[in-house]
């Protein structure tokens, strides 16, 4: 589970481009954005302006289904919805494997303690033009131990570099990392924190998925890779840190009344600067470890439909897994539309089994760990609709959804500062809720058999025609 091995793998598949001479100040971010918009390759930035060769930044590593499938050990040519299905099946059958503690790891090649620390020795990018600072944490792992029950949580939260030994740490309300550090603060204590920047995508995945409270992401990572993840024990925090990571830091997150700093603004995943700039807790860094010639992994939020596929496919797979885990029958596919920033538009395809089935699915999809936060629309379609085909979905909405009877609004749902529709007054009083639209774009259950037939050649006729005439029309299937 070495990031460098994955980079070599992408290079062998002609899925990687090395970019030399780019500036950490906006150029890395702009190149990443332009390449992602065009479904370009993964990028490895080296010889970054003002930094020695070998201090690198890697972006867009899983920004296409082809590269995500490669990270998962699947065929890079697998169709999109089949990729989501296979990920769902893997999550459903996954047996957690706890990590294995080792004495040493590559992460310990260079170690710096208090008084020697300089976070800006790394080429931390200024990702967007209106960002309030440089963010080392966009594709990161933030590690904390619950002080009450002792389990280890790993999450992905944004991390701004304030100075040579201080970072910001923004965690949205309701997220596990925020709840854990508040337990320390309630006792007047600082929260021990370890952070990792640079890891194999398969290790990172559980950190951004919605994992149930009390479930350890390291054990989920072990289940995904099929063997225990090797970790070392951090000398300062005692927290487990992946032995093959590129960069790791350890420190304390004091209560906000002890120390807070202005964090942000930061270009966010919905495509706006929604949360602005405000006081947020900090992490006082006490120890830094990194490999020789370290690589920062970057996944900067960008205006949709950019920001890569890993988030929207993995979250769709997790919602699919959650729905089946509830025992709801007939789920044929789940997809998150890229234009909805992996969270705002969820589409579920079902084979209707009973009256009320479609609405049950919609309500469940917006209530699970991954579906509940920061959503906007849940669209339920019939099983003849490919939820990953946006034209199919819009056609179903246009022709099977009667607005007077097929739309419902659910109020008071879990949202956050990233939601651009929450007005300043509600933000000020901490009302971080929004509404969700349920769109039932299915044939009405009670007369579905009498619904007009679809005007399309049958699959059998299409296959027969392609075999006979496809060569003449230069078509393939």
Residue 289 sits in the same domain as residue 351: no
In a domain, 36, yes or no: no
User: Which of 266, 298, 330 lies at the terminal end of a domain, its last residue?
Assistant: 298
110: containing domain: 94-298
In a domain, 141, yes or no: yes
Q: With 70 as the cut, is the pLDDT of residue 190 above it?
A: yes
What angle (nearest 5°) sits at the alpha carbon of residue 425, between those of residues 419 and 427?
A: 40
In a domain, 414, yes or no: yes
Q: How do residues 268-311 score in pLDDT, each as one tens digit?
A: 988 999 888 999 999 999 999 999 999 999 999 999 887 666 78
| pLDDT for the residue numbered 476 | 60
3-state SS class at 19: strand
| pLDDT for the residue numbered 262 | 97
Residue 101 sits in the same domain as residue 208: yes
Residue 153 sits in the same domain as residue 261: yes
In a domain, 253, yes or no: yes
Q: How do residues 315-368 score in pLDDT, each as one tens digit?
A: 999 999 999 999 999 999 999 998 877 789 999 999 999 999 999 999 999 998
- Which helix (DSSP H) or strand (DSSP E) does residue 145 occupy? strand 140-145
| pLDDT for the residue numbered 379 | 98
Number of domains in the chain: 2
Least confident of 307-311, 451-455, 456-460: 307-311
Mean pLDDT in residue range 28-51: 95
Q: Where are the alpha helices (DSSP H) in 306-453?
A: 310-325, 357-365, 369-372, 390-400, 403-406, 424-428
Domain CATH number, residue 211: 2.30.110.10
Tracing tokens 């996954």 back to the chain, one arrives at: 94
Whether pTM exceeds 0.85: yes
């Amino acid at each position: 589970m070495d990031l460098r091995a994955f980079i070599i793998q992408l290079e062998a598949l002609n899925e990687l481009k090395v970019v030399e001479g780019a500036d950490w100040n906006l150029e890395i971010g702009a190149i990443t954005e332009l390449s992602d918009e065009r479904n370009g390759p993964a990028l490895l930035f080296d010889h970054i302006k003002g930094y020695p060769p070998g201090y690198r930044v890697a972006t867009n590593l899983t920004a296409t289904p082809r590269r995500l499938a490669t990270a998962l050990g699947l065929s890079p040519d697998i169709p999109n919805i089949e990729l989501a299905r296979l990920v769902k099946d893997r999550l459903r059958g996954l047996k957690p494997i706890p990590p294995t503690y080792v004495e040493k790891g590559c992460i310990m090649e260079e170690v710096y303690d208090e008084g020697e620390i300089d976070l800006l020795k790394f080429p931390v990018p200024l990702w967007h033009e209106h960002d309030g600072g440089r963010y080392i944490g966009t594709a990161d792992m933030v590690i904390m131990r619950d002080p009450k029950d002792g389990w280890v949580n790993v999450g992905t939260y944004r991390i701004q570099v304030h100075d040579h030994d201080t970072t910001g740490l923004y965690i949205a309300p309701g997220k596990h990392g925020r709840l854990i550090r508040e337990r320390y603060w309630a006792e007047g204590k600082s929260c021990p924190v370890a952070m990792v920047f640079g890891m194999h995508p398969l290790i990172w995945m559980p950190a951004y998925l919605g994992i149930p409270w009390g479930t350890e992401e390291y054990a989920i990572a072990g289940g995904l890779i099929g063997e225990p993840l090797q970790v070392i024990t951090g000398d300062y925090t005692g927290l487990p840190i992946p032995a093959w990571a590129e960069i790791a830091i350890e420190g304390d997150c004091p209560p906000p009344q002890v120390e807070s700093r202005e964090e942000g603004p930061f270009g966010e995943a919905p495509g706006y600067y929604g949360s602005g700039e405000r006081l947020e807790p900090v992490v006082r860094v006490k120890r830094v470890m990194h490999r020789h010639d370290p690589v920062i992994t970057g996944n900067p939020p960008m205006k949709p439909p950019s920001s890569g596929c890993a988030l929207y496919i993995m979250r769709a797979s997790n919602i699919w897994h959650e729905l089946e885990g509830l025992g709801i029958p007939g789920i044929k596919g789940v997809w998150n539309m890229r234009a909805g920033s992996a969270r705002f538009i969820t589409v579920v395809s079902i084979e209707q089994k009973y009256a009320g089935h479609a609405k049950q699915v919609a309500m469940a999809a917006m209530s699970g760990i991954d579906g509940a936060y920061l959503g906007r629309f849940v669209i339920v379609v019939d099983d003849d609709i490919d939820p990953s085909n946006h034209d199919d979905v819009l056609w179903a909405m246009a022709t099977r959804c009667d607005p007077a009877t097929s739309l419902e609004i659910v109020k008071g749902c879990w949202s956050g500062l990233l939601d651009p529709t929450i007005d300043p007054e509600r933000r000020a009083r901490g009302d971080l809720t929004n509404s969700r639209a349920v769109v039932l774009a299915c044939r009405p259950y009670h007369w579905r058999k009498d619904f007009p037939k679809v005007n399309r050649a049958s699959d059998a006729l299409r296959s027969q025609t392609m075999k006979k005439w496809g060569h003449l029309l230069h078509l393939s299937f």
